Structure 1
Amino acid sequence: MKIWVDADACPAVIKNILFKAAQRTRIQLTLVANQPMHIPRLKWVTLLQVASGFDVADNEIVKRLEIGDLVITSDIPLAAQVLEKRGHALSPRGELYSLDSIRGSLHMREFKESLRACGVDTGGPPPLTAKNRNAFAGHLDKLLSKRSVT
């Protein structure tokens, strides 16, 4: 298992959780971004900088993804592609996507896009909470412990 991070929009607090987990478990963590960013100098952590452009980072993650890999993303279409390729997808807010839940998330995303196209302000996501961080860390720990058992 490898961990891939859709890093451009991933909150710093979530990245820090991931850095600690990668160091503790010695699992490869790759942040994929279309801009430079600072990462700790850890053997298990790398940055893959891709060209700017719509879905360039997402496409690179999907291209390199292997069965059982984990992708950290808040991008619903990317999460759907990850699940189709038999990977795991976890949002920085602690939602572990499944084939069942992703359908509803895709429909809600499309609905909100249609509202925005009509001029309705749907607002942005609420701030990341301690509950979100704890849910994220809990799902991450479960996925990593399953990896070490198998």
Structure 2
Amino acid sequence: MTDPIRILVDADACPVKAEIYRVAERYGLPVFVVTNGGVMVPRDPLIQLVIVGDGFDAADDWIAERCGPADIVVTADIQLADRCLKSGSTVIGNTGRPFTKESIGMALASRALMADLRAMGTVGGGNKPMVAKDKSTFLSALDAAVVRLRRAPPPRGAPAA
């Protein structure tokens, strides 16, 4: 891997920011916490708060336009996950569920179905609340993603580090 690994966080409503900071500190990785505002971050040179405009999907656009193969994106937004996968990024949901090129189609279809059912009044509510097990699963998934990226061979034609 020739590019440094970065963690880009879709921070609005992200319940695992503290876990992200712990993993980033352990590996010395930069973190970009992207939000429309109202998010506090620790004073740490590795953690950068990025405040975007109030425009629809402004945070998503910032992340999608900058992510690449050496990046880990943390988001619960399935459409953002799809955009980031197309850039070659590793994408992990807030509960530790990885989004992959193989699974994103089903996730997008499920999202569309649930939106239709909510619009018809057939189902209501949102996601289940986070529990300790979800945070543990997330920590394991993020740690595994960092280790996998650190061990990845350099892209073809790139000099070995």
- TM, length-normalised to structure 1: 0.93
5+ residue gaps, structure 1: none
Mapped partners of 1:115, 1:34: distance in 2:
29
1:97 aligns with 2:91: no
Mapped partners of 2:115, 2:75: distance in 1:
19
Corresponding residue SS for 1:67: coil
Q: Select between 128-137 and 88-97 the one with higher mean Cα deviation.
A: 128-137
Instruction: Give the greater-gyration-radius structure (CA).
Output: 2
Q: What residue number does 1:10 align with?
A: 14
- Give the alignment's Cα RMSD to 1 decimal: 1.2
What is the CA-CA distance between 1:122 and the residue it aligns to?
Answer: 2.9
Matched-pair identity in %:
33
Mapped partners of 1:69, 1:135: distance in 2:
20
5+ residue gaps, structure 2: 153-161
Q: What residue number does 2:155 align with?
A: none
Q: Identify the structure with bigger relative contact order (alpha carbons < 8 Å, sequence gap 6+).
A: 2
What pairs with 1:83-94 in structure 2 (closer than 5 Å)? 83-94=85-96
1:79 aligns with 2:63: no
- TM, length-normalised to structure 2: 0.87
Mapped partners of 1:147, 1:104: distance in 2:
25
The aligned amino acid for 1:48 is V
Mapped partners of 1:75, 1:58: distance in 2:
9
Contact persistence 1:23–1:42 (CA under 8 A): no
The aligned amino acid for 2:48 is T
The aligned amino acid for 1:117 is A
Mapped partners of 2:109, 2:121: distance in 1:
19
1:128 aligns with 2:130: yes
Per residue, is there more helix in 1 or in 2? 1
Mapped partners of 2:13, 2:38: distance in 1:
13
> Number of residue pairs matched?
148
Contact persistence 1:36–1:49 (CA under 8 A): no
Corresponding residue SS for 1:99: coil
Mapped partners of 1:17, 1:41: distance in 2:
16
The correspondence for 1:25, drawn from 8, 19, 27, is 27
Mapped partners of 1:142, 1:114: distance in 2:
35
Residues 66-98 of structure 1: CA distance to partner in whole angstroms, max 9, x if unpaired?
Answer: 223110000000001111111011011110111
The aligned amino acid for 1:57 is A
